[in-house]
A and B are shown apart, each in its own frame.
Chain A
């Protein structure tokens, strides 16, 4: 099993490496979604280095935990974390979005079998994660299912069908993380279609709710530990994040939801990410 106990400094160094790669690969592709990848860096780094039970040398290990990036447009953060873990090639990450690349525009299991699901059409990952959690329960396996949702994504009705089901059935080997970066394609979530009161919504659906600073690795670690210890309810982390985190001109800027940095912008971003 791959569950390294990295120091906070080492984890922060991982996060920085991932951030730089996200900017580089999206700039190379000349299209993509930097903002929502950068906001989810600490969430994925925390999960893949110490929380998830997984083994890059055995990607289909039955007892592994399942991870689904339901907000599939943040594929660059997932690809770079998977590559850093050793599931796939780090050096070819810059082929993102090119014809034939395993690094498709949105996660595609046909190209990258280490992925648990093909996502990109929003709203569907939570249902998939429930199915995986139920299968583990049936087989008496210790696997848990983790799913990262976008804050705009939860405007989809299917999320609440799934939330109602998981809450009613008390599926406690299931954890959802809402990457609450407050921006979606058309603008600020609060203006497009406000999702508040967010924690209360999940609580009303019988979930254990934790609000957490989504850029604090220790806070995320504590929250995932509490989720694992919670019995009889699924847990959701409302992770307060900053869209474009780490790059000053991308932070809180709706433009960088779905716009690639130019080469000049990439250089300015990399100069900040040190």
Chain B
């Protein structure tokens, strides 16, 4: 599909929130594999693990508001051959459970799947205590973890299946807001392999999660200015697709990274490391600056904190100016 043209620019049809697609994918997995078990910390109606709980009550473990114990129980289940998905808001499961993730999941490399929903600032009105803007950084710092951030419902379903099939600890980052539809149910996803959404020669936009749709819109608007912008969906943040990044650096000579995360410690710095080690080129970074956001509508927040196509385009202009 292609973005529709509107007076305000290109627009994509809204699909499900990635958290909702995650809940659906879990139920499908549960039907196929009796070893899939799920745990939550009193947020199952928000993380959508409630659908799994309803269909498979004996395989669902409601742990109450106790994230550390949730992760420990998940690691114990994984050590006994189960494939546990443990879920809560990203801000809670990673921040409150970080030590447990380190010692009982990462270090012994157990087959635990950790799903953080309500990531980024697009959760809106609940405000910064519930917003997770450092989860990519934390999850990537756990040795041996795979870190995945899908952009839409189709990507989510495919990547949740891929995470279940992958042996080893995985963190999946889900959003609260409805996500624009980018892919089709047939799109193939492979962990660690970026998707080239739009080909381009002059510059590359690398984005993850909700920013992928913004990057796509930006590329359409840039095209009108005569700028050919490649768009890469970096749905797997770790391990990073260094090959696609190196090719983008070599072939387009400029890269802009966009993410709904603290700009100092997320996807951007990881891409920059790969670029520095392969084909150094001009780079710009779009993300949340060194601050915590506030209550507001999701759209209002993305606008105020500079995470829209407009902001990616401005970064492209800065990068191209430096490239010349």
Secondary structure at the B interface, as helix, strand, loop or mixed, is helix
- CB of B277 within 8 Å of the partner chain: no
- Contact of B69 (CB < 8 Å), options: A66, A108, A121, A158: A158
Tally of A interface residues using CB under 8 Å: 33
The distance from the CB of B65 to the nearest CB of chain A, in whole angstroms, is 9
- Contact of B80 (CB < 8 Å), options: A120, A121, A136: A136
Residues on B with C-beta less than 8 A from A136 are 80
The distance from the CB of B188 to the nearest CB of chain A, in whole angstroms, is 33
- Let me know if A161 and B79 touch, CB within 8 A: no
- Let me know if A135 and B68 touch, CB within 8 A: no
- Contact of A127 (CB < 8 Å), options: B68, B102, B109: B68
- Let me know if B63 and A165 touch, CB within 8 A: yes
Residues on B with C-beta less than 8 A from A18 are none
Given the contacts A116-B79, A127-B68, A134-B61, A165 and B73 also touching, CB distance less than 8 Å: yes
In angstroms, Cα B84 to Cα A252, docked, is 43
Chain A, 90-117, CB within 8 A of any chain B CB: 108-110, 116-117
In angstroms, Cα B102 to Cα A214, docked, is 32
Closest residue of chain B to A109 (Cβ to Cβ) is B108
- CB of B107 within 8 Å of the partner chain: yes
- Let me know if A130 and B73 touch, CB within 8 A: yes
- CB of B307 within 8 Å of the partner chain: no
Closest residue of chain B to A131 (Cβ to Cβ) is B76
- Contact of B68 (CB < 8 Å), options: A108, A132, A161: A161
Residues on B with C-beta less than 8 A from A128 are 72-73, 75-76, 79, 104
- Let me know if B104 and A138 touch, CB within 8 A: no
Given the contacts A127-B68, A158-B72, A161-B66, A134 and B77 also touching, CB distance less than 8 Å: yes
Closest residue of chain A to B68 (Cβ to Cβ) is A158
Q: Which of A108, A110, A145, A161 has the most CB of B within 10 A?
A: A161
Given the contacts A132-B79, A135-B80, A165-B66, A117 and B104 also touching, CB distance less than 8 Å: yes
Residues on A with C-beta less than 8 A from B82 are 135, 138
Chain A, 213-255, CB within 8 A of any chain B CB: none
The distance from the CB of B28 to the nearest CB of chain A, in whole angstroms, is 20
Closest residue of chain A to B109 (Cβ to Cβ) is A110
- Let me know if A134 and B79 touch, CB within 8 A: no
- Let me know if A120 and B75 touch, CB within 8 A: no
In angstroms, Cα B80 to Cα A121, docked, is 21
In angstroms, Cα B100 to Cα A41, docked, is 28
Closest residue of chain A to B103 (Cβ to Cβ) is A121
- Let me know if A117 and B79 touch, CB within 8 A: yes
The distance from the CB of A133 to the nearest CB of chain B, in whole angstroms, is 8
- CB of A74 within 8 Å of the partner chain: no
Residues on A with C-beta less than 8 A from B79 are 116-117, 128, 131-132, 135
- Let me know if A131 and B100 touch, CB within 8 A: no
- CB of B223 within 8 Å of the partner chain: no
- CB of B5 within 8 Å of the partner chain: no
Residues on A with C-beta less than 8 A from B58 are 138
Residues on A with C-beta less than 8 A from B199 are none
In angstroms, Cα B105 to Cα A128, docked, is 10
Closest residue of chain A to B71 (Cβ to Cβ) is A127
Given the contacts A128-B72, A132-B79, A165-B73, A138 and B59 also touching, CB distance less than 8 Å: yes
The distance from the CB of B14 to the nearest CB of chain A, in whole angstroms, is 38
- CB of A118 within 8 Å of the partner chain: yes
Closest residue of chain B to A120 (Cβ to Cβ) is B103
* Chain B 134-158: CB-based contact to A (< 8 A → 1; otherwise 0): 0000000000000000000000000
In angstroms, Cα B102 to Cα A119, docked, is 11
- CB of A28 within 8 Å of the partner chain: no
In angstroms, Cα B80 to Cα A131, docked, is 8
- CB of B74 within 8 Å of the partner chain: yes
- CB of A164 within 8 Å of the partner chain: yes
Residues on B with C-beta less than 8 A from A131 are 72-80, 84
- Contact of A138 (CB < 8 Å), options: B37, B74, B107, B109: B37
- Let me know if B74 and A164 touch, CB within 8 A: no
Closest residue of chain B to A163 (Cβ to Cβ) is B69
Closest residue of chain A to B82 (Cβ to Cβ) is A135
Residues on B with C-beta less than 8 A from A123 are 68
- Let me know if A132 and B76 touch, CB within 8 A: yes
- CB of B81 within 8 Å of the partner chain: yes
- Let me know if B108 and A118 touch, CB within 8 A: yes
The distance from the CB of A207 to the nearest CB of chain B, in whole angstroms, is 15
- CB of B300 within 8 Å of the partner chain: no
Chain B, 62-101, CB within 8 A of any chain A CB: 63-64, 66, 68-69, 71-82, 84, 99-100
- CB of A157 within 8 Å of the partner chain: yes
6 additional contacts (CB under 8 A) given A135-B76, A165-B73: A127-B68, A127-B72, A128-B73, A135-B77, A138-B37, A162-B72
3 A-B pairs with least C-beta separation: A131-B76, A127-B72, A135-B80
A-B contact pairs, 8 of them (CB 8 A): A62-B81, A124-B72, A127-B69, A134-B61, A135-B77, A165-B63, A165-B64, A165-B69
